[in-house]
Amino acid sequence: MSSKAATVVREWPSLIAGSPWSGGQLCDVVHPGDGSVVGRVHVPDEDATEQALAAAWAVRGIGRAMSAADRAECLMHVSHGLARRVDEVAALITAENGKPITWARAEATRAASTFRWAAEEARRFNGEFQRLDTEKATERRAAIIRRFPYGPVLGISPFNFPINLVAHKVAPAIAVGAPIVIKPAPATPLGALLLGELLAETDLPSGMFSVLPVGNDVAPTLVADPRLPVISFTGSESVGFAIKREVPNKLVILELGGNAAAIVLDDYSSDADIAWAAQRIAMYGNSQAGQTCVSVQRVFVEQALADRFIPALTTAVAELPSGDVWDPATVVGPVINDAAAERVMSWIDEAIEAGATVLAGGGRERTFIEPTLLADVPSHVKLSCEEVFGPVMSVQAIRDFDEGIALVNDSRFGLQTGVFTHDIQKIFRAHRELDVGGVIIGDAPTFRADQMPYGGIKASGVGREGLRFAMQDLTYDKVLVLTDLDL
């Protein structure tokens, strides 16, 4: 890391039932770019973990009874804390995750908004009044329908957004009054611990939250515990669906991966259109080293536009600033570790051996992979049909929109798709026919606003993030029937 990141290495306690816990094993957290130690965490032992689970179960009734105002005030405290300390939070994200500081600042700012949205939704998460006197047999009756949390939540978060994806688990849980136990990714526990410290400053009842930076070997025990009836997991398809198979009696919410596509249609043909589409696709196929669930991986361009668009995209990819993650101009940083870099490079090699052509990039230095664009990638290789989770894209000319829709849908995944067109009929057709959770018009599929419903279908997951939508997933309808009313 550069001298900008040089600080005294801090020891971080775990958060057990809202209180700091130190003891047991100390585990190093390292910067992906150079392997330097950026923090040390106290890994909770079996007794501390049990204390967290017992406290979450014990406080579930108190959490459910909290007023909307109290929940909202706690969430706003976290939002304000993140907003005040955005530079510090961003530096922490870059230190443990390796994403360039510009993207880290964006994540920190989004996390503050995520908690603000949760506070606002907590205040308007109302029930429904329903007249039941619509039939003679049910005269003088009415119903009040409210939503209540299923119970304590186990949130398992990934490394790629160590603050905001933790926020998308913690904030909706607190908003509905559900205790939550967070197990952050072992590579990036510091963001979750920082959020835990901010929550500890609030008046939340003891037990409403814990942060357990334990290893993945402990996860099966947490998953199986009956005191955590809800599991919200973000991560790989293999792990997510294994959890769902392991605990079929629990509510399991999965935000998994994808091999997101962008379709560029031939009406997107002005010089400005082509420049915009090329820049956005290049940026969001490689930003944060391609380590986002909706990073652009497959690009389909109509044949009539291919001779103009593919060179523009190639240039845009080749010109992306890479390297020093502390430089605000840097767009592409390292992948999370050497193993990830080796896997991504093996996928590139497999595609080349199968006949793919390298248009840009293709090189590697330690954990830094050059932004890479390939053409002529066969449909059977991993880069076509699996999630690369690295700064790699393929581009392919297509006959027409029909073929583009078919290629997007010919995937096990279905998260989001970007469509570059001005044709309103094709816009509505894309919304109707693409088998994905979101269609982004005029931009890359990577776009996300934190309040919108976000999630996929098929192997891309079950359930939705986006505060109100996540709050619905964490709760169930309970009806109260009133009798002998003069309506």
Catalytic residues: 255, 293
Token pair 């596509």 in the structure block, residue: 261
What's the one-letter identity of residue 82? L
Instruction: Provide, for the chain, the percentages of residues in helix, strand and coil under a 3-state DSSP scheme, each rounded to the nearest 5.
Output: 40, 25, 35
Distance CA 156, CA 189 (A): 11
Decide: helix, strand or coil at residue 311: helix
Q: How far is CA 125 from the centre of its chain?
A: 23
What the block records as the tokens of 363 is: 């090189």
Decide: helix, strand or coil at residue 457: strand
> 204-229 burial by CB neighbour count: b if 16+ within 10 A, else e?
bbebbbbbbbbeeebbeebbebebbb
Distance CA 335, CA 324 (A): 13
Distance CA 454, CA 484 (A): 43
In angstroms and rounded to an integer, the radius of gyration of the C-alpha atoms of the chain is: 24
Those residues with Cβ within 8 angstroms of residue 205's Cβ, 6 or more apart along the chain or in another chain: 18, 59, 62, 63, 66
Q: How far is CA 155 from the centre of its chain?
A: 12
Distance CA 118, CA 111 (A): 11
Distance CA 366, CA 364 (A): 6
Contact, 261 vs 445, CB < 8 A? Answer: yes
Length in residues, the chain: 487
